[in-house]
Structure 1
Amino acid sequence: MPHVEASDGVRIAYQVRGDGPPLVLLAGQANDHHWWDGVRDDFAGARSTVTIDYRGTGESDRPQLPYSTERFADDVVAVLDGLAVRRADVYGTSMGGRVAQWLAVRHPGRVRALVLGCTSAGGPHAVDRSGDVRRSLIRPDPLEVRQTLLELMYTPAWLATHPGPYHTLGDRSMPAHARRGHLVASDGHDAWDALPGIVAPTLVLHGTDDLLNPTANAPLLAARIPGSRLELIQGARHAYFEECRELAGPLVLDFLDQQAPRR
């Protein structure tokens, strides 16, 4: 698997598939590129998709260094540099949406268009998940936690007809220090003050029944980014992009196609 070296020497693995203009796909917290396995082919006919294994996941290095969404964004730029990609469309979901925010803020010339899915601005302005949801995710029984996470990701009807494997439950090979680092990075994210500086055309996507990252964050995020567009997918939970792929994928591609041609 190919790698690039980040500015601090950490090796970052990446994957490229398909042909066409580049689309960077950014996964959720404590997940590697397999997060996108269920839907990546939906973009294959129109885009060359670029994924990464965040530091701490997959085939990337797993340093015992501070982790942050800003650092993850800089790692994405290292991958784009390694591929000689000057500008790309960027689609980030969950923590990947937080990474995508910093990518658009810190490296505006590298982002042609931006899609932020099931994510938030973070910090005190974000709407946090409920205490009940938080407690359900720290129960001592890992099987109970896994079942809770599945039910936060997908509706009961979808789970009943899709027995797995599931690609959104985390990279089980991560060492404990990296898992903690990802949690700290996501929880510490706060881009609220910087969001008005985003210049890339932006689409905000969210499921209406998302309790893991409450849906109320979507209009807050959209209102904070100048000229952004908001789309809510009725009845969808956190993994709307997979369960509602027939709707979400075309929404993303239509939005990207509507933007000005890349120069």
Structure 2
Amino acid sequence: MIRNLMAIATALLLSTQAQAQPEPKGDYAEVNGMNMYYEVSGTGDPLVVLHGAYMNIPTMGEIIPKLAETHQVYAIEFQGHGRTNDIERPVTYPNLADDVAAFMDAVALEKADVFGYSMGAAAALQLAIRHPEKVDQLVLASVSYDMSGSQPEFLEMIPTMTPEMFVGPPMEDAWKQYAPNPDGFRPFVERMIALEHEPLAWEDDVAKLKTPMLIIAGDSDMVTLEHIVSMFRLVGGGVAGDMGKPLATSRLAILPATSHTAVIDQVALLHLLIEPFLNGETPKGMFEQ
């Protein structure tokens, strides 16, 4: 997982709208003092989609309409992102997770699969930790459970972050396109920088999870491969197959030649991985009937 700064590049590069499909239904829900914007598209089992930092629903690109071909997708915009207003409250992963849980209550969604990218993946992980009854299956793209799992270059960059790195064109202009309060970018950025300093130390909580998860990362992501494998092992993965025991319910996928910001734009490959997982389809080995 890289949060904030790396996701900025994604937000800028993926600014085009998704390809044409039946128009999603946009609406607002009262969530913890916010008017949270969300869109519903498709039919089928419910799937909540959570975007990365500084992103919104449009900048998630074509993966949402692709998933909506077989699922009823609930795509939300987090505090201060897109059309959801910012409030005087820190942006933290527990807060974001509680917002998702409150949103699900507001739209009468008792339980759902959840797909999160980057910041959204960390929020999804916290949702499973804090509100396990609301999560059926998790798809986590570019996530970590401990800051020590970040690439050294990213860890070195965090202390250098200042609002001046973000305020002004083109980031501020892009944010103002949807923001309910166009004058609120600087305080929003300050909250997002503070999020980068939030300590992550969730190993014990992750190890207790029973939620099946698909963990996705690029081979050149901002999370080290060692950390991704460690997380997979925490949730029961990485054991030998073909030995008479069932495989773990969780799965791991590493995308080749893929940086952090390139993960979300590989729609065909993501869909090829996500759809069988959500459907409970498992490749059969030669010793299985």
Shorter-chain TM-score range = 0.7 to 0.9
Contact kept in structure 2, 1:69 and 1:98, CA below 8 Å: yes
Note if 1:93 corresponds to 2:117: yes
Identity, % of aligned positions: 23
Q: CA deviation at 1:121?
A: 0.8
Aligned residue pairs total: 234
How far apart, CA to CA, are the structure 2 residues paired with 1:197 and 1:239?
A: 30
Note if 1:181 corresponds to 2:206: no
Among 132, 136, 144, the alignment partner of 1:108 is: 132
Q: CA deviation at 1:101?
A: 0.6
Aligned match of 2:209: 198
1:68-98 CA distance string (max 9 Å, x none): 1111111111221122111100111111111
Note if 1:31 corresponds to 2:41: no
Of 185-194 and 36-45, more deviation after overlay is shown by: 185-194
The amino acid that maps onto 1:126 is G
Aligned match of 2:75: 51
Kindly report which structure 2 residues correspond to 1:119-134, keeping only aligned pairs within 5 A, or say none: 119-123=143-147, 125-130=148-153, 134=157
Contact kept in structure 2, 1:119 and 1:217, CA below 8 Å: no
The amino acid that maps onto 2:65 is D
The amino acid that maps onto 2:71 is R
- Stretches of structure 2 that go unaligned for 5 or more consecutive residues are 1-25, 237-247, 283-289
Contact kept in structure 2, 1:64 and 1:178, CA below 8 Å: no
Give the TM-score of the pair, scaled to structure 1: 0.78
Aligned match of 1:5: 30
How far apart, CA to CA, are the structure 1 residues paired with 2:253 and 2:216?
A: 5
Kindly report which structure 2 residues correspond to 1:136-151, keeping only aligned pairs within 5 A, or say none: none
Q: CA deviation at 1:138?
A: 5.5
Which of the pair has more CA radius of gyration? 2
1:110-145 CA distance string (max 9 Å, x none): 11100111111133x42344169838x959787xx9
Aligned match of 2:142: 118
- Stretches of structure 1 that go unaligned for 5 or more consecutive residues are 147-169
How far apart, CA to CA, are the structure 2 residues paired with 1:208 and 1:118?
A: 10
Among 249, 252, 255, the alignment partner of 2:277 is: 255
Note if 1:67 corresponds to 2:126: no
